[in-house]
Structure 1
Amino acid sequence: MTEKIGLIGLGAMGLGMAQSLRRKGYSVHVCDVRTEAAQAFAAVGGVACATPAAVAEHCEIVVSVVVNAAQTEQLLFGENGAAAAMRRGSVFVMCSTVDPNWSIAMEKRLADMGLLYIDAPISGGAAKAASGEMTMMSAGSPAAYAKAGAALDAMAAKVYKLGDAAGPGSKVKIINQLLAGVHIAAAAEAMALGLREGVAADALYEVITHSAGNSWMFENRMAHVLAGDYTPLSAVDIFVKDLGLVLDTARASKFPLPLSATAHQMFMQASSAGHGREDDSAVIKIFPGIDLPAAK
């Protein structure tokens, strides 16, 4: 019998993860607030469900790939939520970037209902999610891994097991987001300076991507700027949220993060200027006096 697995949230990452699971032979039951997204996945071999509860009724492993903690709580405990419909011993896999303390508390809340939990934030982008090559930073009990471990391996090339209880996965993801946000902000600043100084954008990109100053974020995100394409793969507002979580985590232990704070303000400025739903590379639009490449 084909093993059933549920996935809630068919955004850029979630859709790719659902495709990876289906490729590995799982019967993938999906749900999304956009009904058309679930129906489109059903048209290529998945199973569309109208509510999180309907997913949970069919599946002993439910993977959540939504934006934040509030959306996760809603899909679990809101109207037609998954938690009440999950059978005891089922596993909830939480893939969002959240406050580590929230994740720790959620593990306990679900344990009180007889449910297992894996704290499993993800990284790698839409392309790696679709190819099954993304990274998962996970933490959970041995019992949870015993039940869901194969499914995690089907979705990610690297599944890091960072602890036997929730928390470490989200803490490592927070640190990853610190670097990602700072690198995007720095890449935008560098490209903006080049444009201001009259350097040809294509030439600057070519040189930097073959020099010591390069970063994965410069190479990836400044390609969006060169194309004049700010279609959101990861939006400005995602880094408003994620760098906010970084700063909240550090503030609790009175730990200084000057670069993170500056990058957060840059994303905040871009969002307040109306670019919040654009690709996070749109943070370059905060710099005055530059002519950005037009859409190709």
Structure 2
Amino acid sequence: MRVAVIGLGNMGMGAALNLLKAGGMEVAGVDPRETARAEFAAAGGTPAASASALPEGTEGVLVLVVNAAQAEAALFGPEGAAPRLAPGAVVIVSSTMAPEDARRLAGIAEARGFLYVDAPVSGGAVGARAGAMTVMASGSPEAMAKAGPILAAVSKKVWTLGDAPGLGSTMKVVHQLLAGVHIATAAEAMALGIKSGLDPRTLFEIVIGAAGNSWMFENRMPHVLEADEAPRSAVDIFVKDLGLVGDLARSVAFPAPLAAQALQLFVSASAQGHGGKDDAFVIRAYQALTGIALPGEG
């Protein structure tokens, strides 16, 4: 099977490398960054700087870009993949987006004779490299069957939520409510402990062995302890994703006050110039309010 991954970032690179390891597939990877293409080529993949340069007759494409606009451009824009895809190819879009955008992209794909799977993922860069992402998918039985070998190679679990595109994206938006609130709460707890005179590393060790721990606290707060702002997932990702939570909540007349407050904290950190930093550094919003020194700042 001739397949491609569009977007060799933190998640996409891991997915592309696991497709190579799975065997039985010719794998191309698309990314404008020369460094990403070089890493993928060194692993045995076929790199391309744009989707329009994919091998002709590509039968499956996994899209791991930031948002709906990028996904649409990568597939159907002037430099998009669509002309390079085989008739009946499966398009798997794993970008986090509003459910209505997933439905719209599915309509475009199906009108061109392609199968479409709405398949957001979770698991972070570590999960992607391990081939252990969680997939929240929806699509027709035919689309899911054709996407099966691709999704199996990159995930530990594929949840099939129904036939209709948009259900996968709805689930991912609900998931991001939890993820964003948990990161903001982890930062709040760390900032409060620092402000109150606790040693931050000791605070961390106690929490991860106690009932107050969360996956996000244990995963993200080491970045703060190590003063490592390199983005695995950036502050601005959660400005986007928690904005999607608010949009979904309004569309069904649902109050989501915790998500709204967490969004404001990410917006605050972004407004201070930290939008491109690791999302753990939403803690900068608390630092601005309290004057605390973070680890590594003396």
Letter in 1 for 2:141: P
Distance 1:295 1:122, change over 3 A: farther
Contact 2:73 2:79 in 1 (8 A): no
Amino acid at match of 1:154: A
Q: Does 2:42 correspond to 1:40?
A: no
The one-letter amino acid of 1:18's match is A
Q: Secondary structure in 2 aligned to 1:231?
A: coil
Mapped to 2, the partners of 1:88 and 1:14 lie a distance apart of 24
**Which digits, 9 at most, give the CA deviation of each residue in 1:48-92, with x for residues without a partner?**
124212326241001100000010111112222112332221110
Tell me, yes or no, if structure 1 residue 77 matches structure 2 residue 79.
no
Which aligned pairs between 1:122-201 and structure 2 lie closer than 5 A? 122-201=121-200
Say whether 1:229 aligns with 2:228: yes
Match in the other structure for 2:7: 9
Cα drift, residue 295 of structure 1: 7.4
Aligned equivalents of 2:55, 2:115: Cα separation in 1: 13
Please give the per-residue CA displacement for 1:173-202, whole angstroms capped at 9, x wherever unaligned: 001100000000001001100000001111
Amino acid at match of 2:243: G
Per the TM alignment, residue 35 of structure 1 is displaced from its structure 2 partner at its CA by: 3.2
CA distance in 1, matches of 2:49, 2:270: 33
8 Å Cα contact 1:132-1:154 kept in structure 2: yes
Tell me if 1:250 matches 2:249.
Answer: yes
Q: Contact 1:103 / 1:170 at 8 angstroms: preserved in 2?
A: yes
Deviations 1:103-127 (A, max 9, x none): 0121111111111100000100111
2:106 is equivalent to residue 107 of structure 1 = yes
Identity among equivalent positions (%) equals 51
Please say if residues 56 and 62 of structure 1, whose CA atoms lie closer than 8 Å, have aligned partners that are also in contact. Answer: no
- SS of residue paired to 1:88: strand
**Is this contact kept in 1: 2:224–2:294, CA < 8 A?**
yes
Matched to 1:135, the amino acid is: T
* TM-score, scaled relative to structure 2: 0.96
Structure 2 CA distance for aligned equivalents of residues 94 and 54 of structure 1: 19
Give the CA deviation at 1:267.
Answer: 0.0
Separation of aligned partners in 2, 1:295 and 1:141 = 53
Structure 1 residue 207 corresponds to structure 2 residue 200: no
Gaps spanning 5+ residues in structure 2: where? none
Mapped partners of 1:245, 1:256: distance in 2 = 14
Residue 28 of structure 2 corresponds to residue 18 of structure 1: no
Distance in 2 (CA, whole Å) between partners of 1:211 and 1:84 is 54
